[in-house]
A and B are shown apart, each in its own frame.
Chain A
Amino acid sequence: MSVLAPMMLTVATTALAALPLTPALRELRRREDAAPLPTRSDDGDIRSFAHSFRRYIEPALADLDQAALAKETRSITLADGSPALVLGGRGACDFAGRTVEQIVLCAHDAFLPPQVSFTRDLFVRGRLVGGADNVIRAAMVDGDASLGDRTIVLRWLHVQGSLTANSGCQFFGRVSADKLISLGYGCRFERISGPAIIAGLDEVPGYLERLQHTGNRSTIDRRFGRLRVNGEVHLATGDVVQGHIVALGNVRIDAGAQVTGSVKSHHDIHLGGGVEVHGAITSSGRLEISEKCFVRGPLLCEQEVVIGTGTQIGSPECATTISAPRIRIAPGAVVYGTLWAREFGEVMP
């Protein structure tokens, strides 16, 4: 009895001490979670969903060809068992007022009546002409696409031609086009990419008019370095800075001034009319760009970017990116490249 008690105590203490190690020993032995953490393997291309969808429907394209020849509508089943509707005929789709719950493959142009909702993905081999108030989960269009007023795209849209979105459209997720993207008044977006994105216009203006710079110019030459300021920076009309500007305070650049490098502020940045920045702009606060400015890009902002009418961001030869939680663009502005609004972006009504 006298030996048993300390032995029992020792065993109980050891068991208590080992208890927290039990799950650890189990995992060490079974190795249930011993693979390397997955790292990012994609190349970040905005079109990756569209490419995946094309691979997914590839086996069904033979059915689409046959339906086109026969000019008929067929129901098929895709490789994973999903039902799909194959439209081989030309003309308007007979979906008026309906909710379409199948994947839809169109052999030619697709003309959608108003108020159609697609709960599955849509593929259009020709041109897509949408009606008002359509709801599209995701779509891939081989030709051009024109979306009616207040159309909603829920996940992604890729257009191999040009995309025209009429007023009040809402794009959740990714939207891309291989040619021009035209966004109507009041359109909302998250991530949009194309060679040129224009707001509230039908085509890129031939030349974005610049304000005439007048008066004496003071030049600050910082070609090989940075102008680093602990407080605020204010460039007056006509000033030219050859180099980068880094400011811990606000940056205000008045109308017609130029910066040949990049601009960074730990607070807000305001560009007056006709300002040119031939580098990137980075702001930890709010970035406000007035009318008819030019910024080579990228624009990185941690709060909100507001872009005035007639302003050009990037260029046809040098596509760029605007990234911010909120992006607001005035009609008449042009962006070459990508708009990425993490919370919401909109074309001002």
Chain B
Amino acid sequence: MLVHIFMAVMTLICIYTVRHYCFTVNRVLGRQRHPYVDIETADWPTVTVLIAAHNEEAVITDCMQALLEVDYPADKLVIVPVNDRSTDRTREIIDDFVRRYPGRITPFHRTCGKPGKAAALKDAMTYIKGQVFLVFDADYIPGKALIRQLVSPFFDPEVGSVMGRVVPINVGKRLLTRLLDLERSGGYQVDQQARMNLGLVPQYGGTVAGVRKSALDEIGGWTENTLAEDTDLTFRLLLHGWKTVYANRAECYEEVPERWPVRIRQIMRWAKGHNQAMVRYSGAMLRCPHVGFFERLDGLLLLGVYAMAPVLMLGWIVAVAVFYSGVEIGGSVAVLSLAAFTTLGNFAAFYEIAAAARLDGSRERIRLLPFTLLGFTVSLVSVSRAAWQQVWEYVTGSDMVWHKTERTRVSPVALTGRSA
């Protein structure tokens, strides 16, 4: 029995390892797909940009100022800061912008209702008309061409949502921010783009992202009772025959957590939300007629990605038990074990990070790669803890709590004069 569990765990880990290898090789050597990046002139649709803001006085000024300067027809761009029950100066800052830029900003101040980004966006969208909605968190700083880059894929009638690339702006602050910078590079530059190249399932990420109104209406709008509305949306769209596309050149700066407790809370929330989606949509993914074989496979693996942390820990425990039980292990199991453990389980993302650093032309930051082991270990423990908490919350029937990620910026950043 122990050997069979061990074998199953090793097989899963090897599948994820191969997946990471495939993505890395594709990104470095394969044909790159950027089908929408060249749209320069077009009859651009009306776009509503939603800025999700809950106590964002430290960062929202940068975001709104940058949005006012983007290169998109002003008469087709509606900026909607969604002030979700803020108790700091967020409302005051937004209203000041409304006064200074008449007709450009349509604020939505929410003073009650269910907490959470999805609930706030759902409320805001009932009052706003438009064909395409873009969503930014308040700490994001869009570049001049970003809106057009994010809107371009919507000329394709099959595209339901689009995801841009997130680039940390506070990289140099601490070891944590540097590790998150590497992690983000691997996740977007390699993982997301490879899935785009291979026609698999790029993930809608909830910010620096867009969604088509008609697609959202077709799937029933935002789901409120989820901690990861982005993963939820990706799979509901997919199950209804809509594609999510990734736009690697639609880059946007964000502020990443600078303290380990904030990071741990963030990744635990992501893990819980993702696991919710896994439980909700795995069965439907297996049965859905719209989804091709490789999309289905990738979708299922994507749904299970956060569940792999407790599985890996289980594998380690079982490995020790198998060793001391004296059970004879067959040759194939030994090979699988070797393959799994030499790559430290699903730490095969290591290759993606290395490839991303090369693609980004980052010559020196790649040297920090050994430290990603630290980030990996913290994530492994946090994600496993989140999974156990989730099981406990399910058993006891308690509600999951939405934790907002703390901001650390204290003044507007200089948007010009950045160096590589």
B245-253, B272-280, B386-394: which one contacts chain A? B245-253
Q: Which of A33, A39, A300, A319 contacts B156 (CB 8 A)?
A: A300
- Do A33 and B365 have beta carbons less than 8 Å apart? yes
Bound form: Cα–Cα A193–B143 in Å: 23
Bound form: Cα–Cα A269–B164 in Å: 28
- Do B155 and A300 have beta carbons less than 8 Å apart? yes
B145 to chain A: which residues have CB within 8 Å? 40, 42-44
Q: Does A261 contact B (CB under 8 A)?
A: yes
Q: Which of B42, B157, B170, B365 contacts A321 (CB 8 A)?
A: B42
Interface membership of chain A positions 276-294, coded 1 if the CB is closer than 8 angstroms to chain B and 0 otherwise: 0001101000000000000
- Do A302 and B157 have beta carbons less than 8 Å apart? no
- Do B42 and A39 have beta carbons less than 8 Å apart? no
Bound form: Cα–Cα A262–B131 in Å: 15
- Do A31 and B172 have beta carbons less than 8 Å apart? yes
A49-57, A118-126, A210-218, A221-229: which one contacts chain B? A221-229
Q: Which of B41, B158, B214 contacts A264 (CB 8 A)?
A: B158
- Do A226 and B157 have beta carbons less than 8 Å apart? yes
- Per the CB 8 Å criterion, the residue count for chain B at the interface is 52
Q: Does B55 contact A (CB under 8 A)?
A: no
Known contacts A24-B371, A321-B40; A43 and B157 CB within 8 A of each other: no
- Do A20 and B71 have beta carbons less than 8 Å apart? no
B143 to chain A: which residues have CB within 8 Å? 39-41
- Do A262 and B155 have beta carbons less than 8 Å apart? yes
Nearest Cβ on chain A to B90's Cβ, whole angstroms: 25
Nearest Cβ on chain B to A256's Cβ, whole angstroms: 22
A89-97, A101-109, A337-345: which one contacts chain B? A337-345
B161 to chain A: which residues have CB within 8 Å? none
B253 to chain A: which residues have CB within 8 Å? 36, 39
- Do A37 and B71 have beta carbons less than 8 Å apart? no
Chain B residues touching A, majority SS: loop
Nearest Cβ on chain B to A255's Cβ, whole angstroms: 23
- Do B169 and A36 have beta carbons less than 8 Å apart? yes
Q: Does B15 contact A (CB under 8 A)?
A: no
Residues B130-168 near A (CB distance < 8 A): 143-146, 148-149, 155-158, 167-168
- Do A35 and B420 have beta carbons less than 8 Å apart? yes
Residues B325-367 near A (CB distance < 8 A): 360, 362-365, 367
Bound form: Cα–Cα A246–B158 in Å: 6
Bound form: Cα–Cα A226–B170 in Å: 43
B181 to chain A: which residues have CB within 8 Å? 36-37
Q: Does A328 contact B (CB under 8 A)?
A: no
Residues A185-199 near B (CB distance < 8 A): 193
A45 to chain B: which residues have CB within 8 Å? 71
Q: Does B368 contact A (CB under 8 A)?
A: yes
Q: Does A310 contact B (CB under 8 A)?
A: no
B195 to chain A: which residues have CB within 8 Å? none
- Do A44 and B71 have beta carbons less than 8 Å apart? yes
Q: Which of A21, A193, A226, A262 contacts B41 (CB 8 A)?
A: A193
Known contacts A33-B362, A39-B143, A319-B41; A21 and B370 CB within 8 A of each other: yes
- Do A35 and B157 have beta carbons less than 8 Å apart? no
- Do B171 and A36 have beta carbons less than 8 Å apart? yes
Closest residue of chain B to A340 (Cβ to Cβ) is B38
- Do B41 and A321 have beta carbons less than 8 Å apart? yes
Bound form: Cα–Cα A28–B174 in Å: 9
Q: Which of B148, B157, B360 contacts A262 (CB 8 A)?
A: B157
Most chain B CB within a 10 A radius of its CB, from A24, A26, A38, A314: A24
- Do B71 and A28 have beta carbons less than 8 Å apart? no
Interface membership of chain B positions 35-73, coded 1 if the CB is closer than 8 angstroms to chain A and 0 otherwise: 110111111000000000000000000000000000100
- Do B363 and A261 have beta carbons less than 8 Å apart? no
- Do A37 and B41 have beta carbons less than 8 Å apart? no
Q: Which of B35, B42, B168, B170 contacts A337 (CB 8 A)?
A: B42
Interface membership of chain A positions 1-27, coded 1 if the CB is closer than 8 angstroms to chain B and 0 otherwise: 000000000000000000011011011
Can you list 18 A-B contacts with CB-CB less than 8 angstroms, sorted by A residue number? Answer: A24-B369, A34-B178, A35-B418, A38-B418, A40-B251, A41-B144, A44-B40, A44-B71, A228-B158, A244-B157, A282-B157, A298-B39, A300-B35, A314-B41, A319-B42, A320-B42, A321-B40, A323-B35
| Partner-A contacts on B (CB < 8 A) | 33, 35-36, 38-43, 71, 143-146, 148-149, 155-158, 167-172, 175, 178, 181, 185, 214, 218, 241, 249, 251-253, 289-290, 360, 362-365, 367-371, 418-420
Closest 3 CB pairs of A and B: A33-B364, A34-B172, A244-B157
| Partner-B contacts on A (CB < 8 A) | 20-21, 23-24, 26-28, 31-46, 193, 224-226, 228, 230, 244-246, 261-264, 279-280, 282, 296-298, 300, 302, 314, 318-321, 323, 337-338, 340, 342
